Amino acid sequence: MSLPRFFVPPDAVRHGAATVRGEGLLHMRKVLRLRPGARVLLWDGEGTEHEALIRAYEAGVAAMTVVRSYRPQRESPLAVTLAQAVGKGDKMDWIVEKSTELGVARVAPFFSSHTVPRFAGDKGRRRRERWEKIAAAAAGQCGRIRIPEIHDAVPFDAVLAGDWQCEARMLFWEGSSGRPLVSLREELGSLRSVLVMVGPEGGFSEEEAARAAAHEFHTVGLGRRILRTETAAVAAVCAVQLLWGDLG
């Protein structure tokens, strides 16, 4: 039986002891009703996991004794940056959750010419904070040891001009000439990092696709059918993880 898992910041673990606060404490004590002596897993979002025992509940914290610490290898060898056009409603919430489960390293939301939702300022900050919480929860649920970085939403051209430090850039576009992704595997060989760009409900315009190509993006398709933006995001991440990462 797997142990209950809780996120703690790195500085909450020191000298063989740890503390759990906030939502983690409430879930531990009120929802799971764990008693002193129960064994749990703590993870710090930076690659380390700690097996610990609940020593006591005191002064608004769970005081823990760390039994052992280790750095499990659960992250994909392929660092995937998902540049995703912001969708309507809660679609972006779902995309952040599922792409986190699939192992992306970063999610970079953007606005394109066919993007309907637009926001900035405080609204944009609140959206990013919401997506950060979703990513953290999804990472904890699926056993990841790192939380994907969530960027502020930016215009399409800012993604094109960004220094993503990725070995390859790919634009997934239904208007592609039909070049299969597997042909890129043969052309590019092994990759350690990739930028995957997926459009909104209305897709990319031809002019946007041309601008992406001018910025050294490979335009590829996802088959003959038109996919919803949230389906395309999951399919694109699955495809690159299968060809270059650790899926399958």
Rounded mean pLDDT of 181-203? 91
Please write the tens of the pLDDT for every residue from 111-151. Answer: 988 776 677 778 889 999 999 999 999 999 999 999 999 99
Reduced to 3 states, what is the DSSP secondary structure of residue 6? Answer: strand
pTM for the predicted model, two decimal places? 0.88
| Contact (Cβ atoms closer than 8 angstroms) between residue 86 and residue 153 | yes
Residue 222: which pLDDT band, with cuts at 50, 70 and 90?
Answer: confident
For residue 238 the two structure tokens come to 């699955």
Highest mean pLDDT among 21-30, 68-77, 93-102, 198-207: 93-102
Contacts of 219 (CB under 8 A, 6+ apart): 170, 171, 173, 176, 177, 179, 209, 212, 213
Contacts of 192 (CB under 8 A, 6+ apart): 77, 78, 79, 167
Residue 224: which pLDDT band, with cuts at 50, 70 and 90?
Answer: confident
Please write the tens of the pLDDT for every residue from 15-40. Answer: 999 999 999 999 999 999 999 999 99
Q: Which domains does the chain have, with CATH numbers?
A: 5-70 (2.40.240.20), 79-244 (3.40.1280.10)
Q: How many CB atoms lie within 10 A of CB 85?
A: 30
Q: How many CB atoms lie within 10 A of CB 41?
A: 15
